[in-house]
Structure 1
């Protein structure tokens, strides 16, 4: 499949459209002239024939990609595997340009890069200016001369540092064609298991990119000079030699001693996943004990804590495993990315400050600079060990987390339920709204988890993706761990009268939910307005209440949709004066799904109404919404219309909620 990046963009637009697209529209979308568009369209038919597809040019209308649905799906799958990007995306374009500059070390005119990336020469010149600081930090000068072209001037060590930096910052970026990549994987197939045993997945991915660049460079006649430091006959050098031999056989190239030494340095600087029995590391020809270095570093934490750290073998082993490749990186000026640096500085401010002192000691031992990123990794090891040591001596408390989501209570409850599944009884969650933020204090909430940018000068905020990823949980886990060993801000105890009033409120809400809960049927083709009118008629006592419910549901939906396509459900909820206490009903279509496109084929609608004046922090109806997403089969029973089983689930949730809250009130 031989397409230029711009042709890939054209084909994406055509294959994803079910209508004819005019040439004017294509030109405007891609920000190119019609003349350029016609040039890009030439020769496409021949490639498309391989997939039984063709470009249908309709007079005065434009273009449409024609062919069988199955053939289009196969072709789309192939297109998605290609390295395509949007030329107007400056960040992506500059990343591609950077990779091309590293790959093409010979002089190239800006016109070449402009053609490859589908932009003007002026844009390439602006991009080169933006990239100059990136080259500067590796000690490489980017030369640009009119009529000459673009080239890099560098020392060998600086170029190796540039490659390392590129791999660190863009580990997923592919520089070469897929054929070279596949040949490389086949060449190293029986070595992969051995590499994976020693190195992290990210390190192995980085190695593949490093080798792709090296193979292409050698094939184009660019060979490294001998690396500084000479030859080191260790296990890693043996692996480097074995990899070099595979490359020589597979690509018919010669890997000199310098190439093997460069590969040796890369492997020694790569992150490991297993510890080594060797406690020594070579520094400028001298073997230095890693254990002694670790002992020196712990001294910055004072005699008492330092003693505990020195007797913690889990910590000692972990930090030595980290330092072994880190020392190589520091000695050779190889950069490292630390995506968690800001979080480390926020979560462990005191530990980070002490780790800065430890970094100075390490720099003196190695006679080199220790970067902020490497300091951050030291802080992560020290911080984790200190929290673990504190756990032995202090009882943990439950951490209170507030949950907010721009999409409303449905996604908020989904996030809360996933947090509870992950952390269990280590945390307590509370669904929050924007209007509650000004009144919040650390006595109520330790920190907020939000799916959108929230500003709060009283409580820390962690922003996550609505459908939380692994890194979101890991970040929150560090917050929870650090807060669980701190004392909660003291709160005044409630009076006996307040306790009784609180219990009565909970009981009243529970009774209200159980009294009115039912399944109802709705026309499968009804619109959103028809649905909220029906809900108003079901739950409103008077005509004015019915109108009020419909109005409040409409206003809530206007803020952000409550349709959750991923779960085939609509989670309609709002606060309203039209109900005295919380209410819940479920609407099912008279058929398999709601057919109005607005509902994305939802199979059920969960409706929850809360009284506007109910200011309690924890509501019984919130416990039900949490359970909908966290309890096994609850959501499926709702969508399947299993009313009796759903009723039993709700009764169970409310019973547990009532008992739990009564116990907590009397324990205060």
Structure 2
């Protein structure tokens, strides 16, 4: 006699209840089903027990009890382990299916449909719907129950989409999702999966939330957006935007329209991201035969602003001297807190600072836009590294105070990963021979955690690059002499060996990597060994700082009565004044174009000080420059948020496009002085040339002395 999974579970509940009578309600509560369902299954359970020589006693008013000796209990446990059962959905699986159907159908659906689909009674279904209702409430969505008619969901479209995306990500296997984004067709997706698996069947149902055949088209559109905005999206942000577009198209096809606060939409319309999104979604709309409203372009712009890749630069030279100053200050505060809590020296860890700045910018943008932050390793981080999580929580509170936002647990886990990677880096060995690239779809924090873990455990490995799992530059990998790619997901079609590991590199995965090293031959046998800087090198570096500081002071200009009629005329004057000589005016044109392009992204204005910072990196200048422009009359300038602010003083900060680290640090110090030192900013607005030169000299002298102490 074959029994169902539910009948088997009822017998297991009875076996685990001891020698006492239990009620059918008690059994139902532990199994997540109704008492009526338990009553329906009990005769089958009793028959199977009787056929195998066991007694189930039923006592009115008391309940049911297995009457067993110790020997019989052991035999029953053995039989249950061997018993093959018909597969049934778990309560969690049933909840997922119900949620998917409600979002897909977008109309009232009878309870009989769900009871038949899931193979449960209406009593069990009622219990499941309570769980569904609780889950939907997290997204401000209501489950409407109409007796005799059925059930449906109500709520704002943006919340329903948010819930749909969360349901999609929580239940679609990451490796499967990755395959889909390598432009595999839906019918190819199940090749490596057990089609009889309940989880796979549920994934198949959830894939109906999107049009899988549109994925290649949407991928191409997002890549065009990347090319137009001039930066790459992080892998997880790239995937999130494609999924957002796919779900949006399905919802629009069902006549569901999204809304957005008009003030937020107007602000987004001022951004480059909005203009690009609006232009590139029109062909999609025409292809699928829908109308794409302006609010959709607004949400796409939010994805672009909050998804900028954090892995494009690995040193301080990649950080904007003005735009990122606020983030640099937050990053240094995080490093200070982490240093106090761990007792490890982190102040000069440039890699940690750059990683934090590049991660926090997009993360804060997403939080401000109420966009969900997903961290697939959050639970693992919290469980395996509780102390590190507590430190990250303290760091998060510092961000909350400064930015006036609430940091979600997923973001706390990302901060913990950055700090953890830095702590691992502090302990890593110095000798490196094998050249490895690390690939991870979950962002720079996971990549850095894995990178430093590898370098800590293997003294003869040098992680030379962190790459995307979606867009891979094979030529670049060969130029860097990469011997092996260590990836958290499979990367088919590579001519360089790929080793798939988890983000924490467990012992078994370490052994696999060790086996490769033992059998492989590195392509770069002459990797330079690390050595401490000697006194001569220190003096050379200090000399470079000195030379650049003196050059900047000698070229400093205070320009009074500048015509501020329009920004283009101010930029033209700055370009003519500070462009490098030569090439028949090409340098002037190049600097003017770079300044205009930078200002098109929004002006950098210190509102409380009435100072605007005009800045860029350009091939039109041949050295770092700093100047102060005072306008002949006050003018209104729109900041990065679209708000107009009165400005009469401008700070001009310029650097060659390939300016090395010392020059950029000097300009960053000037920016810090403008923001933090009231005497300096007041001198910029009101002081004479000589007074301002003295302020600037004192500021840079203090900076130079700090460099001397550090050396």
Q: What is the TM-score normalised by the length of structure 1?
A: 0.43
